[in-house]
């Protein structure tokens, strides 16, 4: 998976917008699984969001805002890539990609002016990476 030096790339305001957008993405299939919640909680911890910022993010699970509207608060290219990467991972946190999640990701790619071809390739790369990691972990268990 990709490693991002978050503090160097993303302003505090962008961090909150990223976390909110990822939470919206997790709720996109109209059911937020425990694995999706856990993913968002881990992301908030990684970015060291304040308690009131975390509460704002958690509200997106029950009352999701407009994904593209929230994402527009993320201005820097690297921060947008970080958001897109984590939105894909959130969509796959429950081990499946719903049609509504794919549509949302492609809308996000359009908003960020990422080509559809590259966005789809990036999404597939992340899905493949997750699958390979899970297969490797299973092999370790079976050894």
Q: What is the pLDDT of residues 87-113, one digit of tens each?
A: 999 999 888 898 999 999 999 999 999
Q: Determine the pLDDT at residue 5.
A: 64
Q: Print the domain residue range for 89.
A: 9-142
Within-domain flag for 71: yes
CATH number for the domain including 134? Answer: 1.10.3680.10
Query: Token pair of 32, please?
Result: 């937020």
Within-domain flag for 126: yes
Within-domain flag for 22: yes
Q: What is the pLDDT along the chain (143 residues), one digit of tens a residue?
A: 556 666 667 888 999 999 999 999 998 877 888 999 999 999 999 999 999 999 999 999 999 999 999 999 999 888 899 999 999 999 998 888 989 999 999 999 999 999 999 999 999 999 999 999 888 989 999 98
Report the number of distinct structural domains present in the chain. Answer: 1
Residues 72 and 108: beta-carbon distance below 8 Å: no
Say how far apart CA 43 and CA 8 lie, in whole Å. 16
Within-domain flag for 101: yes
Residue 34 CA: distances (Å) to CA of 41, 113, 131: 10, 31, 19
Within-domain flag for 1: no
Q: Determine the pLDDT at residue 28.
A: 85
Q: What pTM did the predictor assign? A: 0.88
Within-domain flag for 2: no
């Amino acid at each position: 998976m990709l490693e991002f030096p978050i503090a160097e790339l993303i302003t505090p305001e962008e961090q909150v917008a990223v976390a909110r957008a990822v939470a919206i993405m997790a709720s996109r299939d109209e059911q937020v699984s425990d694995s999706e919640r856990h993913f968002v909680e881990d992301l908030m911890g990684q970015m060291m969001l304040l308690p009131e910022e975390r509460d704002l993010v958690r509200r997106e699970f029950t009352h999701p805002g407009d994904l593209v509207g929230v994402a527009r608060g993320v201005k820097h290219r690297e921060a947008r890539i970080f958001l897109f990467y984590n939105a894909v991972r959130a969509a796959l946190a429950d081990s499946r990609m719903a049609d509504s999640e794919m549509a949302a990701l492609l809308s996000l790619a359009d908003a960020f002016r990422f080509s559809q071809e590259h966005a789809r390739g990036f999404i597939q790369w992340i899905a493949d990476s997750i699958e390979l990691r899970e297969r490797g972990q299973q092999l370790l268990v079976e050894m």
